[in-house]
Amino acid sequence: MSERADVVVVGLGAMGSAVLYQLARSGASVIGLDRFAPPHTNGSSHGESRITRQAVGEGGAYIPFVLASHRIWRELEAETGEDLLNACGVLVMAPAGGASHHGKPDFVATSISGARTFDIPHEVLDGAEVRRRFPQFLGLKGDETAYYEPGGGYVRPERCIAAQLRRAAELGARIRTGAEVLAIAEDGDCVVVTTSTGEVRAERAIVSAGAWTATLLGAPFDRLLTVRRQLLHWYALDDLSAYPSDAPAFIWMHGAADADYLYGFPPMPSEHKLKVATEQYEQSTSADALDKVVRPEESAAMYHRHVEGRIAGATARVVDAAACLYTVTPDRGFIIDRHPANDRVLVVSACSGHGFKHSAGVGRTIAELVTTGGTEIDLAPFALARFG
C-alpha cells in the first residue's frame, strides 16, 4: 500500500494527536501513523490525569503553549461534549530558600515571575496560609513559599488524545494505526515513510514518536534523548474530610534536591484513593523494554519517603500502581526543530516529563509553521543548536 499526503505525522500521542488535529483544521492533506491504537498504555500519554499550570517554573518560553492549550481544550469540550480540563487549581510549594525542579533552580519564584509577566491570576502564600486553606497538607514548617493558581488543575490525557483524533478524522485526516514505522528517508522533493503496512509519501514529516524517537531517527537524537521509567501510585484514603470539591492538584518540593518532591491530584469524585508520584532520573530504559510491574516495595518506599506525614488521610495501602515513560533531554527541555540531516522532517519530541499541558498549543504552533512557514511563538529555545 502506498499513500500520498501534504504532511505525515509519525506518533499520535500527546503531541502527534494535537498536530494532526490542527493540520486537519487548516485543510492540509494529512496522514497520522501509530504503531499502536492511541490512546494506549505503551508510551507517555496514558492515564486519568496530568497536572496543568499556566505559569510554569520551567521558564517563560513555555507559557504561550499552555495558554493556547487551555483555550483549545475548552474549544474541544464545546465541540465534542467531552470533559477535558478540570480547573480545580494547582499549588506549587518549596521550602524556604527555594528548590529546583525539572533541572530549573528556584522553581516557585520562576512560576511567580511568569504569572506576573503574562498576567495570570495567582496568589503567593506562605506555609501558614497553606495550612489554613488546604488542610490536606501536613508537616509544613510555615516558612515555605507557595504559588497558587486557581486556573490550573488537571487534564484528562486519554480523552484529549481521543477527542483530537476524532475531530481530525472528521476533518479529513487519515489515521493509520497498527503501522510500525521502519524508516524515514528523503527522496527528491518528498519524504518517504516506510511502515509495516506500506509507505507514505509526503512533502513534510512530523516525528512525534516520544520514547521511540531516538531509535527511529538515530544521530543526534540517540545521544540527546534518554528514556526513564517513572512510577505512579494510588494510596487508599481513610478520611476525605480534608478534600473539598475545590481541592487543588499539587507539586510539593519538600527538600533542596530534585528528588525531594512529590506531586499529586485531588481524589476523583466518589473515590477513596489519592494519586501521587515523584520522578527519577538515574535509571534508564527503552520504550520496548519498560518494566510495567510496580513492585510492593517500590510503592512502600514512595509512601515512607514522600507521603507519610505530609498528606492527610493517605494510608500505606496501595490501591493501584503503574509505570510510564519520560523521554528527557540533557536540560529537560523540549526539542522542536528540523532534523539536521533532512530539512523536510520536523521533530517534536522529548516532553521531559512536563509536556502534556503544552501539547495542544504545540500542535497549533506546528500546524502554523508547516502551513505558513512561520509561527507567533518563538521556537528558538527548543532548537537543537542549544546542545552544541
Distance in angstroms (rounded) separating the CA atoms of residues 210 and 207: 9
pLDDT band per the 50, 70, 90 thresholds, residue 102: confident
Q: Is the pLDDT of residue 329 over 90?
A: yes
pLDDT at 99: 85
Between 3.30.450.20, 2.60.40.10, 3.50.50.60, 2.60.40.1180, what CATH number should domain 2-46+157-224+331-387 receive?
3.50.50.60
Q: What is the 3-state secondary structure (H, E, C) of 10-62?
A: ECCCHHHHHHHHHHHHHCCCEEEEECCCCCCCCCCCCCCCEEECCCCCCCHHH
pLDDT computed for residue 101 by the predictor: 85
Q: Give the contacts of 338 (CB within 8 A, at least 6 positions apart).
A: 345, 346, 347
Judge whether 2-46+157-224+331-387 and 90-150+226-328 match in fold: no
C-alpha span between 338 and 347 (Å, rounded): 6
pLDDT of residue 362: 98
- Asked whether the predicted pLDDT for residue 1 surpasses 80, the reply is no
Q: 41-65, pLDDT tens digit by residue?
A: 999 999 999 999 999 999 999 999 9
Q: What is the mean pLDDT of residues 269-289?
A: 94
**pLDDT value of position 245:** 87
Sorting pLDDT into bands at 50, 70 and 90, what band is 103? confident
Tens of pLDDT, residue by residue over 252-263, are 999 877 889 999
Residue type, 213: T
Distance, in Å, from the CA atom of 43 to the CA atom of 325, rounded to the nearest integer, reads 6
How distant, in Å, are the alpha carbons of 81, 152, 186, 255, 256 from that of 97? 44, 24, 51, 10, 9
- Give CB contacts under 8 A, 24+ apart, made by 65-71: 65/358, 65/361, 65/362, 65/365, 65/377, 66/357, 66/358, 66/361, 67/118, 67/361, 68/360, 68/361, 68/364, 68/365, 68/377, 69/357, 69/358, 69/359, 69/360, 69/361, 69/362, 70/151
Check whether 272 has a pLDDT greater than 90: yes
The set of cell numbers assigned to 380 is 528558538
Q: What is the mean pLDDT of the chain?
A: 96
Find the mean pLDDT for residues 109-131: 97
Q: Where are the domains of the chain?
A: 2-46+157-224+331-387, 90-150+226-328
pLDDT band with cut points at 50, 70 and 90 for residue 269: confident
What global pTM score does this model have? 0.97
The mean pLDDT value for 347-363 works out to 95
pLDDT in the model for residue 160: 98
User: At residue 114, does pLDDT exceed 90?
Assistant: yes
Q: 190: closest CA among 321, 4, 387?
A: 4
C-alpha cell, 122: 495567582
The reported pLDDT for the residue numbered 349 is: 85
Q: What angle do CA 229, 70, 362 make, to 5 degrees?
A: 60
Fold of 90-150+226-328: D-Amino Acid Oxidase; Chain A, domain 2 (3.30.9)
Of residues 368, 352, 382, the one with CA closest to residue 14: 352
Say how many CA atoms lie within 13 Å of 354 toward its Cβ: 25
Question: Of 112, 111, 114, 143, nearest to 129 (Cα)?
Answer: 143
The whole-number pLDDT of residue 256 equals 77
164-173, 267-276, 350-359 — which one is most confidently predicted on average? 164-173
Please give the Cα distance from 56 to 101 (Å, whole number).
11
